[in-house]
Structure 1
Amino acid sequence: MKNRKAIVPSLLILAILIFSVSLIAMDVSAAPHAQGFVTATPGPDGRILYTVVEGDNCGQVALLHGITVQRLRDLNSRLDQDCTLTVGQQLVVGLVSNEPTPGPVPTLPSPTPTPTPVSGTTEVCVLLFDDANGDALRQETEFGIEGGAVSLTNLNGSYSQQQNTLSSYDPDTLEPDRTCFPDVPQGDYNISMAIPDNYNPTMVVSYKLTVKAGDRASVDFGAQAKTVTAGEPVDESGGGRSPILGIFGFLLLLAGAGLGYYAWRSSLPKSKLKGSPLDKK
């Protein structure tokens, strides 16, 4: 009897110990899911990763990291429709920016403006172009005319130069070469253009210009080739009239003749015997 009484308390104590160990084991296994919101260290690319363990599902992982299941799906596009997870699978549970927080921008001192040195001379370029359509505006297909003479003269008489115009052009840009006067002192100038004999000017042939040091001026003059040379006979006999007018006049004459014949027949007296029985004899 005494041994039985000693065994019962021993069994009770043993049962309590086993139950206590089971509770401790349950707490240890449930510890990863009872931590609440987990703050993980992002990787070099700014992604926060979580490794799936046994018993995880999308709802638990989302709740553990404080995001929604839809956000978890957005961050992990490879999840299937049922959101199936496998042990050891890495999930992206957050994204952070690794850019450093910009600090205060230092205030730089205002730069001291440096005056640009200005040359004491300028350049004046002149073009005499073939104004084929006579509109006094240079088109892309209207190039320079050779043989003209352009003069550049200062109004106070301190400078006077003359050069010939050019018909050459740049083969790469198709821009005509201009006649340029380099190292021209600043001041007021008059530009005069002498047109070749076989051309007529389409613009004024004299132009006043004020230039300042460091500038580059460009002036265009237009001329059109003479279409009728001196001494060429001009046909004033009307040979240029259209033959359609002659045909139309002939048709009017025929119509008039037809109307005259119709009027003549209408004026003749009709026979009184027409339709009578005597007319059949």
Structure 2
Amino acid sequence: MKYIEPLHTKSLRGVMQALCVSQRTNKPQTTCYNLPAMKRPVILLALLLALLWLIGYSFTAQASAPAQGGAFSTPTPLPDGRIIYIVQPGDSCFRISALTGIPIEQIRSLNRLGEDCALREGQELLLGIGGPSGATPTAEAAITPTPEVQPTPTAPLAGEAQVCVVFYNDLNGDALRQDTEPLLAGGALSISGASGQFSQTANTPGGTEPVCFERVPEGNYNISIAPPENYNPTTQLNHTLTINAGEQVEIIFGAQQAIAELPTEPEQGSNGPGSLLGILGVGFLLAGLGLGVFAWRFYGRKPTYTK
């Protein structure tokens, strides 16, 4: 009669190496079935590679997609004239500088930031000082006895005035015109008297000279402008002022081209239900692979007899 007697080993390695059968006859005899040892490292290596691949696939499948790019609009000045930007998740001084066109050194100086330019989410950053927002703001430009634009426009006749409008490309978005900022074409300009005494419209041509309205009767006026497509205003869009006879008035408007928002970095991982399901799936898959290998090793191979 035969019975199976496993080797008494203290580790799984010993069980996998040999299985012995004792035969009770007149001459007791024990036969051992040696399991192949050369293929164990190959199987273990394959299991390790499968585990690494499944973990990498799980994290890749659950990574968040990058945020969609959009257009960035220059913040509207507050009543006191300050232009404030609220720090968003993933923002840095470099990214804010790329969005607004304001140098990093200026951002650090206005907000007293250190060399590392450390920011926190929700922090208010001062980007510059512009004109205060309001329904009836005062004229931005000063009234001067002589025009600043060359060549000198013709002096208005007695009882009439001259109104010139400067519409410039506010490259840095600070609502203050610099010498390097050119005039902008495509703006829809309108001037109308409160009592209907004068009304005209025009489109800004760009170039080097402003748009001027000649022989404007004295009185109260509303002067407004609409920026061209893909441009955001950096100053007020209208001015209400009183024009006196013989004056030469210059009004300044500014606009900045909309800047596409840079994509943010994808979030690393997720704490939602998808993560837990992914981990459980990996665990069940590895358990199934282990059981399959175990069954194949012990039941799928023919024994080798050694005497």
Give TM-score scaled by structure 1 length: 0.38
* RCO higher in structure (CA 8 A, sep ≥6): 2
TM-score normalized with structure 2 length: 0.35
